Amino acid sequence: MRFGNGQFSVSLLLLWSVLIVGCASTPDYPDKAELRFLTADSQAPLSQYASKLQHLYQGQSGVQLLGDPLDAMVARLLLISQAESSIDLQYYIYRGDDTGALIALALMEAADRGVRVRILLDDLATTSKDKGLVALAKHPNIQVRSFNPNPSRHFNNLGMLFNFPRLNYRMHNKSLTADNQFSIVGGRNIGNEYFAADETLEFGDLDLWLTGPVVTKVSASFDDYWNAPHVQPISALSDIHVSEEQLAAFARDIKKARRDMASHPYLSRLINSRMLAILTESHLENDAPGEFYQWYWGVAELWSDPPLKQAMSVENHWVVAELWQAIQAVESELLIISPYFVPTASGTELLTGLSRRGVKVIVVTNSLAATDVLAVHAGYQNYRQQLLEAGVTLYEIKPDLLESDKSLTGSSKSSLHAKTVIFDRQKLFVGSFNFDPRSALLNTEMGVMVEQPQLAGRLSKEIEQRLPTQAYELNLEQGTLIWLDRGSGRSLDSEPGAGWWQRLLVELLSWLPIESQL
């Protein structure tokens, strides 16, 4: 059957959409149980290891860098495998790929041995995964909740369209905590591209592995989100019913996945990883020395946005406010690493002001060829000239910086994803916060500020050594933007490695009034 009037059919379709989404936009969720974090007893493996590490550093937190993607996965699997009381995960993206399956299998094994597992995911990227999440939450020791859920589970795009002002606010936080003894906080989501398991893309990223007092702050922040009014159990959101037959099939799939994973080539890479070898040798009994596995001790402070951030005005304890204050206090050098860098007029004024008073300001972000979000690059390019004219140093990461490792990763493209700020080589901040309007005002974010000159200095030195070969340095020659490739000595006068269509699209996007959404 066809309608003779196209305008009428479109109007009817819109009306139907409004009715469906409107009915779903004010769901009556049942009351949910309020839960708080658990701490393992003193005899649990992670408790004993944490105690041995901390006995000489009472009141301080231990921090270890997880820059290598295989190390980052090994650390997560280690914590999950050793947990005895609780595991709390909070992520913006959790993909159902090889790495997602590997972590899910480890979580289920932990739940089978009696560990309480709480999984908190942003709803935007998980609405289509309701069936699997509902089945997972059927385990008596696993709970799954969703942040700011879309009320329309079967018409996701329509739900986003008609609830955009509310659903535009997302949870970008990323953390994993085991037994309230160790946490991992940083820039990585769960997905192949974050852990060197993707053949087409690898994200260069950074996490902090934490122990000590800061871990309890991470646990408390997780509780704030877990118990927030706009966070709901997956069972209350979805009308999907998982039958006993489907659960049995799910269990068979899990057993098969365990068998398949045992021979997976990625697992062999993890087994042969540098970190696992060092951890095996030390048996988690000592503070193992060495450049690649070392705990640094100092004052570590968690900065975390409130879960109801979108309902408030900017507060002093927001991540953006804390960072702003710390940046203003810099005396000699500021290094910002942000894959999505849109400083806005006020941020540009802050950075150029620092530069003009003698502070060395360095910004590292993605080149056009390396970015995965063209609109963000469009917002960034509007500020390049002004920053350069004020003396700010800009570096843009090459898309093939991991070319020498392609035989190992198989990745054909790399992209910066780490979010880090280093202050005067004395302090560093690592977390989920991008230097852009979305992180500042639209998403909830978290990160850890560490006062540790040895660690901050080491990371600054490593970045300083890598930039000449892994990034283009931007410069101005008679007012024209130039990309300098220090490694080859070449000088380029257009976006390196980008096609004409990318440059055209970014130029068009730069004219649109969308900066507040970037």
Q: pLDDT by residue (tens digit) across 146-177?
A: 998 887 766 666 666 667 777 889 999 999 99
Query: How many angstroms separate the CA atoms of 400 and 394, rounded?
Result: 18
Contact predicate 194/417, CB 8 Å: yes
**What's the pLDDT band for 286 if we cut at 50, 70, 90?**
very low
Active-site residue, 264 included: no
The pairing of strands 202-204 and 414-416 is parallel
Domain ranges of the chain: 38-46+53-282, 305-517
Catalytic pick among 179, 205, 305, 436? 179
The arithmetic mean of pLDDT across residues 481-501, rounded, is 89
Give the chain's mean pLDDT. Answer: 86
Helix (H) or strand (E) holding 374: helix 374-381
Active-site residue, 309 included: no
Catalytic pick among 71, 98, 205, 424? 424
Helix (H) or strand (E) holding 240: none
Residue 408 has pLDDT above 50, yes or no: no
Active-site residue, 129 included: no
**CATH code of the domain occupying 38-46+53-282:** 3.30.870.10
The arithmetic mean of pLDDT across residues 9-24, rounded, is 41
pTM, two decimal places: 0.90
- 305-517 folds as Endonuclease; Chain A (3.30.870)
| Secondary structure class of 443 (helix, strand, coil) | strand
DSSP string, 336-370: EE-SS---HHHHHHHHHHHHHTT-EEEEEEE-TTT
The residues, any chain, with a CB within 8 Å of residue 436's CB and separated by 6 or more, are 338, 340, 341, 342, 343, 376, 379, 518
Catalytic pick among 217, 309, 398, 419? 419
Q: What is the DSSP letter of 195?
A: T
Query: How many angstroms separate the CA atoms of 342 and 384, rounded?
Result: 10
pLDDT at 317: 85
Q: What does the pLDDT look like over 212-262, one tens digit per residue?
A: 999 999 999 999 999 999 899 988 887 777 777 777 777 787 777 777 777
Active-site residue, 255 included: no
Query: How many angstroms separate the CA atoms of 441 and 445, rounded?
Result: 10
Query: How many angstroms separate the CA atoms of 297 and 507, rounded?
Result: 46
pLDDT at 282: 53
Active-site residue, 179 included: yes
The alpha helices in 68-162, defined as continuous H runs, are 69-82, 98-112, 130-136, 156-162
Catalytic pick among 129, 172, 230, 427? 172
Catalytic pick among 68, 417, 427, 436? 417
Catalytic pick among 174, 377, 398, 413? 174
The alpha helices in 172-318, defined as continuous H runs, are 213-226, 234-237, 244-262, 265-271, 274-282
Active-site residue, 55 included: no
Q: What percent of the chain has pLDDT over 70?
A: 87
Residue 283 has pLDDT above 60, yes or no: no
Query: How many angstroms separate the CA atoms of 87 and 96, rounded?
Result: 19
Q: What percent of the chain has pLDDT over 90?
A: 59
pLDDT at 157: 65
Structure-block tokens of residue 287? 């503070």
